[in-house]
Amino acid sequence: MLLCMLLAAINYSLNLGFLLTFVIVGMALSSMLHTWRNLAWLQVNASAPAPVFAGQHIQLQLELSDKRQRARYAVGAALALETAVYTDIAAGHSATLTLSLASKQRGWMQVEPIALSTSFPAGLYRVWTSFPSPLRCLIYPAPAEPGLPLPEGAIPGGSEGETLRRGDDDFSGLRPYQAGDSPRRIDWKASSREQGLYSRDFHAAAHEQCWLDLAQTPGKNLEHRLSQLTRWVMDAHEQSLSYGLQLPGITLESAHGEVHYHACLRALALLGQR
């Protein structure tokens, strides 16, 4: 188009034609420079994503920082084929973008290469760069559907007849009925007053525990059994029970709390993997 405009200006000796052609060429060259400068020397920092369950989306926090006292506009970031997320960065400041990536299976998942791009200011050019990410995310097994109650089994190494039971010593009040609650715990009197279905809740004695053993877990294959164990770990954690985990070659002693919860999920995620 510019070549045709130039030939027409030469053929008809149109000074305004020359002016318009050269102005457009100058704008195009200037836009190329500014598009490149909008992305040049931009610093990128990414923090390791938090573990997620298989099937959930990984949330990657990406920090873009300007150290050249130059405002940046419409800078986009994306993972692989995901849709780019855009932000503006003030001169000398930083901006944080959250990138989402779907997880597929348990274990370690390498974060895909990160791509940065921009078309500012005129949209005539697209400057982009891609670099591999050194980050990886731990994927926990997908939990099974709730419903199967926690097992009540013998304490490994305990005396004969010693069993693990969920608390039923001291009555502590009523709570809304949950799928899997024993019919013996349902408060039928409260339910008969049309107040809903309630279960009696009890405090467990300090020595009572719950032991989760892969060998005793139902399931069609290893992945199904790991999913059920993941659900039981979540249920025991939500109920503030003390629980242990027995896997081939791995034994996590009975405990409770956030550290023990994530240690159990990590062991389930990495079982059989290097």
Residue with tokens 């109650």: 149
Cβ(98)–Cβ(70) under 8 Å? no
91: which DSSP letter? T
What is the phi/psi pair of residue 186, to 5°?
-70, 135
Q: For residue 134, name the pLDDT band (cuts at 50, 70, 90).
A: confident
pLDDT digits (tens, 9 = 90+) for 203-231: 544 435 789 999 999 989 999 999 999 99
Which pLDDT belongs to residue 274?
66
β-strand 210-213 against 243-247: which pairing, if any?
Answer: parallel
> What is the pLDDT at residue 156?
44
> How far is the C-alpha of 112 from the C-alpha of 99, rounded, in Å?
11
